[in-house]
Amino acid sequence: MSSSAPYTIRAYQPGDELAILEAFNRIFARVDPSFTPRTLEEWRWSYARNPSGTRIQLAVTPEGRVLAQYAGLPQRALVDGQPTCFSQSVDSMADPEARKLAREPLFVQVGRAFDAAYGGEGAGQDMLMWGLPVPVAYRIGKKQLKYQLVRQQHKLSVALERLTLPASELVAEEPATLPPDTDALFARFAAERRALAVRDRAQLAWRFEQHPQHRYRIAAVRRAGALVGLALYRKGAFDQAEDGLLVDWIVPAHDAAARLALLAWLAASARAEGCARLTTLFADTAPEWLAFQQHGFRVHATRYFLVAWSFSARHDLEWLAQHWYYTLGDTDLA
Amino acid sequence: MSALEIRPWSASEAPCLAAFEPAPAARQLLQPRSAAQFVWAFRANPAGTRLFVATRGARVVARYAALPVRTRVVGEPRTFAHVLDAWLAPDEDEATLRATAQAFVEAHGNPQGDLVLYGWPVGRDAALERALEFETLRRSALLARAVGEGPSTLPAGVSELTRFGAETDFLYACCATHWNASALRDAAFLRWRFAENPFHRYRVLGLVSGATLRGYAVYRLGPELLPRLGLLVDWLVLPGDEEASALLLEGVLACARADGAVALAGAFPEWSAWSLDFQERGFRHHPTAHVQLVRGSVGRFDMLWLRDAWWSTLADALFL
């Protein structure tokens, strides 16, 4: 690009955060009447402190003004037991006033730069990029980037009085912090799932304990002293309803006693917080999809749809749709 | 080698069974093997004919076809078309199939033609259709439950419908007000789709009060999906008519028992009240490996619109 170019497409550099924040708060305030400006602390939590890294491409003027951003929240991941990385595309934006500066939309330009910089199977690259886009971003992304629908994202929800839970020999408790043996539980859990984001203590602590806006509650269940299940919960709004939200779930599928103990704790917590329902989200190919229905959860449509694009020759979207385990906690929705 | 000609097959021509020859390693979910089956698919359909063939001399070397369905879209009559598995002669180049598909889509997939093309392609066909700007609508799911113990005869008030008339049109007109898009389930459609279908035998159950058809349910055994699986192929009941829905479901379960089916499966859009109603009646939501692709001929009738607007059941998969 010549020195007279009105903007440069480049990766985030330390010091860009104030300009990113200014653009984010300016652009999103225009389109969302309920928008609350993001704080620098919230930005730093999202992008600077994520133990999985930082993924941001920007269109920046010579004066340092951010015109467009394509960003992702990376997730260290395991695919067939091998370490790799996914990233959730979030906070993408383009300044409407900058439309006349380029023939190709800035959103597309920074998106392509993002794919080129971070897409792949090498170190520091993401083999899978995914997101839950708004309609306008999907319509551009499917034409000009590589967005492809993985599935319509339905939710599982149960009215608390309809929850059917046989008694469990186990009882869940609420520790003040993530248990020290979280990594061992995750290792056992990961062994039964072919593709999932890492849920080790460092990642969960960042995602839930250090979250700058929400307070999440932890439920843990033990058998003979060993941690056999972990759930993350909070009361909150999801898909235009205020429910008790099961945000993350690390329970081996065969352990019905652990599942029942945690669901009983979740129901009691939701009830105590005045919620009428318990709501969660899984891939419909996860074993929890059917297991939760057996306990009274029902499948409901949401407005969300999951799109992704894979950079792996071996693991295309068909494979990922079958095998990728994710929860509400993988997303930025709760 | 003779020159390639790509053209629409005309309903005035003799049936072209050569375009439906078995092809090694290619799926053919709807494969006319007789003149009667061909005529049903491409001449008798009240929505018309959608069949392109590629020929070299007198020999058919490729085929791209669909079954159109008259569809009510925001109150207006339009057509959607269910694209069938494509066919290519084993010694013919893939480019021939691409050109045939392209010609078909140019002829029919436009704002004056079929508003939406849809299907469940696999393998080569899926790649071909993605290149023609089809997009994924959904991974299809089934609502399924065990048939369980119970009667194998129809409950009182439920009978098999053998003719379709104005009462059918009226029922559809009442139900369709709840949807922005739905296949026009009038008497002509039901006759063609179910009563005259030469591929499968269906049982169309109805609940009639006086001169009013309160609802219908279409059932058949579906062993091609799973052994001993009964299919609730279509369902049209006024929302809120709990008595009619309970009796019709009882009737369908009775048909399934009579056939020796152990499970019953159907499909509704997840936003539909029937989806939740059936879950409350013991059905569970199961994913399938079948991916539905769509191509809107007008920009706004895309995946997002169809997801929220289109009432569809297994009956919209015309091979079922």
- Cβ burial of B133 (10 Å; 0-12, 13-18, 19+) is middle
Nearest CA in chain A to B145: A294
Nearest to A299 among B137, B285, B303 (CB): B285
The dihedral of CA A65, A69, A75, A81: what is its sign? negative
**Predicted confidence (pLDDT) per residue in B83-137, tens digit:** 999 999 999 999 999 999 999 999 999 999 999 999 999 999 999 999 999 999 9
Residue type, A87: S
Are B285 and A289 a contacting pair at CB < 8 A? Answer: yes
Query: Given this chain, do its domains B4-133 and B141-289 carry the same CATH topology?
Result: yes
Domain B4-133 matching CATH 3.40.630.30: the answer reads yes
Taking contacts as CB-CB distances below 8 angstroms, the residues of chain B near A142 are 135
Residue type, B230: G
**Predicted confidence (pLDDT) per residue in B4-34, tens digit:** 999 999 988 999 999 998 877 778 889 999 9
Query: What is the average pLDDT across B78-84?
Result: 97
Q: Domain-by-domain residue ranges, chain B?
A: 4-133, 141-289
The CA–CA distances, whole Å, from A115 to A47, A118, A138, A194, A311 equal: 18, 5, 16, 24, 9
Range of the domain at A255: 155-303
pLDDT at B183: 98
Is A176 found in the same domain as A193? Answer: yes
Which DSSP symbol is given to A84? E
The CA–CA distances, whole Å, from A217 to A174, A200, B53, B61, B241 equal: 7, 17, 63, 64, 43
Provide the shortest C-alpha distance from residue B17 to chain A (in Å).
34
pTM exceeding the 0.80 threshold for the entire prediction: yes
Q: Within a domain: residue A333?
A: no
Chain A to chain B Cβ contacts (< 8 Å): 53
pLDDT at A2: 46
Is A112 found in the same domain as A89? Answer: yes
Q: What's the domain count of chain A?
A: 2
The secondary element (H helix, E strand) that includes residue B143 is strand B135-146
Q: Within a domain: residue A313?
A: no
Domain's final residue, options A120, A149, A178: A149
Is A234 found in the same domain as A167? Answer: yes
pLDDT at A32: 84
In tens digits, chain A (334 residues) has pLDDT values of 445 679 999 999 999 999 999 999 999 998 888 899 999 999 999 999 999 999 999 999 999 999 999 999 999 999 999 999 999 999 999 999 888 888 889 999 999 999 999 999 998 899 999 999 999 999 999 999 989 999 999 999 999 999 999 999 999 999 999 999 999 999 999 999 999 999 999 999 999 999 999 999 999 999 999 999 999 999 999 999 999 999 999 999 999 999 999 999 999 999 999 999 999 999 999 999 999 999 999 999 999 999 999 999 899 999 999 999 999 999 999 9
Q: Decide: helix, strand or coil at residue B226.
A: coil
d(Cα A152, Cα B307) in Å, to the nearest integer?
8
pLDDT at A113: 97
Percent of chain B with pLDDT over 90: 90
CATH number of the structural domain spanning residue A165:
3.40.630.30
Provide the shortest C-alpha distance from residue A286 to chain B (in Å).
10
ipTM: 0.94
Nearest CA in chain A to B306: A152
Is A280 found in the same domain as A170? Answer: yes
Is A62 found in the same domain as A174? Answer: no
pLDDT at A103: 84
Q: Within a domain: residue A69?
A: yes
Q: Which class is B141-289 in CATH?
A: alpha beta
Residues forming beta bridges with residue B284, ordered by sequence position: B144
B contact set with A (CB within 8 A)? 135-139, 141, 269-271, 275-276, 279-280, 284-287, 289, 291, 302-304, 307
Q: Within a domain: residue A321?
A: no
Q: Where are the alpha helices (DSSP H) in chain A?
A: 17-31, 40-43, 106-118, 135-144, 182-190, 201-204, 256-272, 287-294, 317-323
Q: Within a domain: residue A299?
A: yes
Q: What is the dihedral of CA B23, B26, B29, B34, to 10 degrees?
A: 0
Are B136 and A149 a contacting pair at CB < 8 A? Answer: yes
Which DSSP symbol is given to A97? G
Is A176 found in the same domain as A79? Answer: no
Is A108 found in the same domain as A210? Answer: no
**Predicted confidence (pLDDT) per residue in B192-250, tens digit:** 999 999 999 999 999 999 989 999 999 999 998 899 999 999 999 998 899 999 999 99
Domain's final residue, options A123, A149, A175: A149
